[in-house]
Amino acid sequence: MKHALAACALWLTASCLSDRPRPAPPSISLALNKTIVESRNPPTAPDTLVVHVHITDPDGIDSAWAQLGTDPPLGADGLLDPVLDGPFRLLVPPGLPQTSVLEVKVRARDVAGFSSERDSTVRVGP
């Protein structure tokens, strides 16, 4: 009995010391094609902001969204792949005053339900 308890204690100690992969939220990086956007009024041809995202998660990516300001987010299906890499094209709303600052948000969720967010900003200019 003494040997069994010692063996169990040794096993528990060894299992706590080993590095195990732990569930974590997706890793997100983003790059904007410009830092100044135009808010044309009337909106004959709205300006477009391209947000290039690179999202990784070893468990697989469920979905991702990109949002400019208060506009509704634009979504993409991650297809449960471990990497989602590509652009989101977001239209700049019309009639915003110059020097306004718009927040750019990218969110992602993995198949385990963990989510993460990364943000940046752009300025409205001529």
CATH of the domain at 110: 2.60.40.3880
- CB burial readout 84-107, b (16+ within 10 A) else e: beeebebebbeebeeeeebebbbb
- Tens digit of each residue's pLDDT (9 = 90 or more) over 114-123: 999 999 999 9
In a domain, 95, yes or no: yes
Structural domain range at position 100: 21-124
Predicted confidence (pLDDT) per residue in 2-37, tens digit: 666 666 665 666 556 556 567 899 999 999 999 999
pLDDT in tens, 30-89: 999 999 999 988 767 899 999 999 999 999 999 999 999 999 999 999 999 999 999 999
Kindly report the pTM of this predicted structure.
0.80
Domains in the chain: how many in total?
Answer: 1
Note whether residue 64 is domain-resident.
yes
For 38, the token pair is 């135009």
Distance, CA of 48 to CA of 103 (rounded, Å): 14
